């Protein structure tokens, strides 16, 4: 079912976006100061690059598809990168300061620009696609609709995570939400990357 690819992408994107990166900090900066509508526009703008980069990753994966051994090698290296980066995320405490964030006039533009300068998302999604293929979840031969839904899912998952932060600030408080995302955001993302990397590496053997 094509919807499965959407759900997989959305779930991975949701947890992969938890770290206190530029988009989340920009979003929290607006929401902490009560600018929730602006925060919503930042969330929308910050989610679109996921769609763009996942689509580019799909193009790369399709180009590599005839070279099964090469795709498996790429998957192995990306798995190692996931584990290393995941360990770094898990153990390195974020020193980011929400108050130091500089915003642009456009909330949508702020979200889009701080997110688009993150081309490593191509490697991230390429690794995910390769891992899915190794586990016989063959996205590349599932049809245009499945690939389209996968790309949309990456963006929707990121948006839901950003919207979750807005909800947290509105429901609890800005300071508590900032504290939580700085304390546990990196750990959640790190744990996810480590698990993905180990599973992908095991499948690549």
| pLDDT tens-place string over residues 27-50 | 887 887 778 888 899 999 999 999
Measure CA 177 to chain center: 19
The CA distance from 20 to 8, in Å, is 22
The CA distance from 59 to 120, in Å, is 15
pLDDT at 34: 78
Query: 186 is written with which tokens?
Result: 């990196």
Look at residues 46, 79, 9, 37 and name the one whose alpha carbon lies nearest to residue 169: 37
In a domain, 126, yes or no: yes
In a domain, 75, yes or no: yes
Look at residues 13, 21, 189, 192 and name the one whose alpha carbon lies nearest to residue 94: 21
pLDDT at 151: 93
Helix residue ranges per DSSP H, the chain: 2-16, 22-32, 36-64, 68-91, 107-116, 120-134, 144-171, 174-204
In a domain, 164, yes or no: yes
What is the total count of domains within the chain? 1
pLDDT at 192: 74
In a domain, 99, yes or no: no
pLDDT at 100: 47
The residue with greater pLDDT, 192 or 147, is 147
The CA distance from 152 to 55, in Å, is 9
Lowest mean pLDDT among 3-7, 10-14, 186-190: 186-190
Domain with 166, as residue range(s), is 2-94+104-204
Lowest mean pLDDT among 31-35, 100-104, 107-111, 162-166: 100-104
- Average pLDDT of 142-165? 92
Lowest mean pLDDT among 8-17, 143-152, 162-171, 178-187: 178-187
The string of DSSP codes covering 145-190 is: HHHHHHHHHHHHHHHHHHHHHHHHHHHS-HHHHHHHHHHHHHHHHH
CA distances in angstroms from 24 to 41, 62, 97, 134, 170, listed in the order given: 12, 31, 11, 32, 15
- Average pLDDT of 177-201? 72
In a domain, 109, yes or no: yes
CA distances in angstroms from 81 to 35, 54, 74, 197, listed in the order given: 37, 18, 11, 7
pLDDT at 193: 77
Query: 196 is written with which tokens?
Result: 């993905």
The residue with greater pLDDT, 205 or 53, is 53
In a domain, 30, yes or no: yes
Residue pLDDT, tens place only, 60-101:
888 877 776 776 777 777 778 778 877 887 777 655 555 445
Instruction: Name the pTM for this structure.
Output: 0.80
In a domain, 8, yes or no: yes
In a domain, 64, yes or no: yes
pLDDT at 134: 66
Using a pLDDT cut of 70, give the percent of the chain over it. Answer: 80
């Amino acid at each position: 079912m094509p919807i499965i690819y959407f759900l997989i992408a959305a779930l991975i994107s949701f947890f992969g976006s938890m770290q206190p990166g530029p988009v989340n900090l920009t979003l929290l900066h607006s929401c902490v100061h009560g600018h929730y509508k602006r925060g919503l526009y930042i969330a929308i703008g910050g989610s679109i690059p996921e769609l763009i980069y996942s689509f580019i990753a799909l193009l790369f994966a399709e180009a590599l598809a005839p070279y099964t051994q090469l795709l498996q090698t790429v998957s192995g290296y990306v798995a190692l990168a996931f584990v290393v980066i995941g360990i770094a995320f898990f153990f390195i405490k974020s020193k980011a300061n929400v108050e130091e964030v500089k915003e642009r006039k456009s909330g949508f533009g702020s979200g889009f620009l701080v997110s688009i300068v993150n081309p490593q998302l191509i490697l991230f999604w390429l690794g995910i696609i390769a891992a899915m293929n190794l586990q016989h979840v063959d996205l590349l031969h599932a049809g245009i609709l499945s690939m389209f839904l996968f790309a949309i899912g990456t963006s929707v998952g990121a948006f839901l995570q950003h919207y979750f932060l807005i909800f947290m600030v509105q429901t609890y408080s800005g300071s508590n939400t900032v504290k939580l995302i700085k304390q546990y955001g990196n750990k959640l993302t790190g744990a996810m990357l480590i698990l993905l990397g180990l599973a992908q590496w095991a499948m690549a053997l």
